[in-house]
Structures are given as C-alpha cells and as structure tokens.
Amino acid sequence: MKIRGRVLSVASECVPLIKTGGLADVVGALPAALRPFGWEMRVLLPAYRRLRGHLGAMREVWREPGLWGGEGVVFAGAVDGVDVLLLDAPHLFDRDGGPYSGAGGDFGDNAQRFAALSWVGARMAREGVDGWKADVLHAHDWQAGFASAYLTYGGSGGVGSVITVHNIAFQGWADAGMIDTLRLPREAFHPGHLEYYGGLSSLKAGLVTADRITTVSPTYAAELMRPEFGMGLQGVITARAAVVSGILNGVDTDLWSPEAEPVPFGVKAMKGKAANRAALCAEFGMAEPAGPLAIVVSRLTDQKGIDLLPAVVPDFVAAGGALIVLGSGDPALEGAMRGLEARYPGKVVVRIGYDEALSHRLFSGADAVLVPSRFEPCGLTQMYGLRYGAVPVVAAVGGLADTVIHASPAAMAAGVATGVQFHPTDAVAFGQALRQLGALFADRKAWAQVQRNAMSHPVGWETSAADYAALYDGLRK
C-alpha cells in the first residue's frame, strides 16, 4: 500500500491502553481504519502510571527538557497493532487515579499537564520524530486543544491541523493569569483568539487555530452552532462554519461481533441470541420477562439522561419489561439506580462499576438498549445495540439521531426501521417510546423485521475513514 501521508494523533485516551469513554475507542480504532486509505497514524499519549510498564519494551525517540517542572521523554512502540508514542513525564503523569483526577478530585495542574502533551505533539509534528514527519496533526478534545495553537503561534512547519470535538461539555478552562505559563502569546488574548469569558480555554484555542474542525456526527455539528448545545462555544464554531464537518464514529466490528461471542449468533442464527437472553437472566436471578429485556451501559451522568429512568421504569416493568443497568458515575444517580433495583426485585438489576466482559454479555442477551441522552455527540452503545440486535431506544439528538432509523409508520411500511427515537429528552417522550418498544416486541413479525434491519445496518469505520482520509488529503501542504 502506497503511503499517502502521515498523521500524528494527539489524545488523552486510546484503547487498549487507557479508557474512560468513547473517545478512547475512537482514537484506538482510527489508525487501523485509516491504513487502507494510505494514511499512516501514530498516537501520542501521556505515559500515565499504569502505562509506564510498557516503556521498557519501547524505544526512546524524543527528549523535551523544561516541560513544566521536569523533563519529558517520548517512547515509541506498537501496542496491539497501534503505533503509539508515550510521553513519559513522571512529574505530570506518574500519579494514582485516572487520567484527569485522583482521590482528591480533578488534578489542579491539568492545564499544564495537557499543555505539555500538546506542546510535545506540536513540536514533534513540526520537526519530525524518529525519521517520521507528519503531514497532519489531529488533536482530540480539550486535552489536545493547545496543539494547533502552538503550531499557529510558533510556526506550523507545513503541518495541517484538525481538532475533533468529542464532547463540548469539557472545555479545558484556565485562569487568564496562566497565559505566560502556558506559553501562549499575550497579543492573542482577545475574543477573536484566546480570550474566553475572561479566561482561557484549551478547547477554544483549538477551535480558533486548527485548520479544520470536526465533530463525531453531522447532527452534533449542526447542534454545536446553537446555544442549547454549544455550551458557550456556539459563536466560535459558527464563525468557523466553513471548516466544520461531522464525521460519524464507527465501531470496531472485530471486537463487537455477535458471531465471535461465546454463544455466537447472527441475523440468520437467532437461536444463539435466545440462549444468551436465557443465560443472562439466569446469571442475574431473573425470570425471563414476557416483555423486552432492556439494558443500559453508560456513564451515569446528567448528559446520559439516567435521571429519567425512575420515572419510566414502573410502567415498563408493569407492562412485562425488565431492565439491567451497568454503569458508574454520579453518586446520586448510582443511588437512584440502586433504589430502583430494591423496589423491583427480579425485574431491575443494577451493577455499579465498569465491566467490559459483562457489557458484551448484556448486548448479546438483550432485546433493547436504552440511550436517553440530553446530548450525545455520537454515542457508541446504540451502535453495539444495532449490531447485536438489541434494538436501540434513543433520544433524537446528535449521533443517536444519525444512526438509528425510527420505527415510524413510513419506515415500517418501507421495511427500514432499526429502532425507536424520541424527542424531547423527558420522561413523557421516553415513556411513550418504551410503550412503542413493548408494542413492537409483541408483534413478532414487526419485531423480527426491526431486529434484522438493525443487525444488517453498517456500523463499521469504512465510510467515515474515507471521510477522514479526504479531510487529511485536503490538508496536505
């Protein structure tokens, strides 16, 4: 395969190394997805404490002295087929806890930590590293937002830049007084550039300086220009509308494959699905419900609309449905979920925690997956649901609106529906959607049609990878 170009991807998470959400899935999947299009991608990540074990098997390729209180050393190597560059800077990243927070909450120096990642990313893109010169720097979310700013203010070296917004809710806020510390030019501290409500935002810095802005679905791209979804940045994004595009995420169809599960199934072999449903109910001590067995696999946060469940579950359960929730997050929502489990023994099961293997069993056995998000840039679990015949019931926002075909009368008559959408994200509309799900489930022919359509709907990376490749092609200088 002829190499068309090289992309340095700069991110804070990447499967299989470190994950708190869908960002990691996407960053980890892109390199393999882009390869058939001739785009070679390396991913720069911080060497968090739990990643330092990999360094021994890697090669040192870069030294960066004076990196906010210590030296940074970059190591190169391949992990599970992904070419990674790990930035080892123990004073910034060798800590207990997750990528952004420890036992005491968010780390107080997150601005410097991710400025360091962005600084090294920009320098390696500009100068080349390990005999490898990037054509494009691809930054993900606020954590990499300063990377294109450093290229803009310090010289781009002919490197094009893209920033992808995975979630506008996180904006990388820093005090205005940090401008020198963050190695940004004071002249750029005005509303058209770095200034953001009197302070600094690494995400805004990325949005004003990157050559292109993408987000992870076409609908979210449009939503971001409106105050209800833009979260303060709608004006910044609207001003750059000509370079904004929405490219849907795909899912890793090798990792998420019903044919590869312990009890395999597929469109033409649904017996396996029935066996998985029975096994799942047995695992959780539930009688198999007469109505749909629904699941939720999610961060338990306000974004995800989890607080609506207590209002809709009573009717859903009374109508014969059952629910299994897997997730963790906001303690109040965890408590609300436990409350539901206590109130509906044998009908609602809740597992607080993060469990990849269990999530596979859930999708394998479930009839439906519920995603009642208030906003959802793309969302991955509705796509796992499609692939596994766990019919998605989703709020009609962002990528959820773009990936699920609502079972309207027209779509049913045309034979194309893949799930149920509702709008707005409130308990009334959600409850109505669950009644529609129940009715569909009870109509064997209609259900078989929707489930078949869902499982046949393409959710892989092919189309979107072609879109990214075209975007990179347009940036080669």
216 binds, among ligand ADP, ligand GLC, none (CB under 5 to 8 A by kind): ligand GLC
Binding residues for ligand ADP restricted to 418-447, rule: CB under 6 A: none
By C-beta, is 213 or 326 nearer to ligand ADP?
326
Sole binder of ligand GLC in the list 6, 42, 138, 166 (CB under 6 A): 166
Does 9 bind ligand ADP (CB under 6 A)? Our answer is no
Task: Return the amino acid letter for 46.
Answer: P
CB of 9 to ligand GLC, least distance (A): 13
Determine the interface stretch with ligand GLC among 16-24, 131-139, 340-348, 452-460 (rule: CB under 6 A). 16-24
Q: Does 376 bind ligand GLC (CB under 6 A)?
A: yes
Kindly indicate which of the ranges 178-186, 224-232, 316-324, 375-383 contains the residues binding ligand GLC, using the contact rule CB under 6 A.
Answer: 375-383
Among residues 164, 217, 298, 418, the one that binds ligand ADP under rule CB under 6 A? 298
Among 4, 133, 240, 299, binds ligand ADP (CB under 6 A): 299
Least spacing, CB of residue 35 vs ligand ADP, in Å: 22
Q: Which of 7, 8, 22, 172 binds ligand ADP (CB under 6 A)?
A: 22
Burial 4-34 (b: 16+ CB within 10 A, else e): ebbbbbbbbbbbebbbeebbbbbbbbbbbbb
Distance between CA atoms of residues 255 and 234, nearest Å: 35
- The pattern of x and - marking residues 387 through 426 that bind ligand GLC according to CB under 6 A reads ------------x---------------------------
Q: Find the binding residues for ligand ADP in span 302-361 (CB under 6 A).
A: 326-328, 354-356, 359
> CA geometry: angle at 346 spanning 340 and 349, to 5°?
50
Give 126-133's long-range contacts (Cβ < 8 A, gap of 24+).
126/151, 126/154, 126/155, 126/156, 126/157, 126/159, 127/157, 129/61, 129/62, 129/74, 129/76, 129/85, 130/59, 130/61, 130/62, 130/76, 132/6, 132/42, 133/6
Sign of CA dihedral 64, 12, 186, 205: positive
Q: What is the side-by-side order of every strand in the sheet holding 199-201?
A: 173-174, 199-201, 195-196
- Closest distance to ligand GLC from the beta carbon of 252 (Å): 13
Q: What is the binding site for ligand GLC (CB under 6 A)?
A: 21-23, 26, 166-167, 216, 249, 376-380, 399
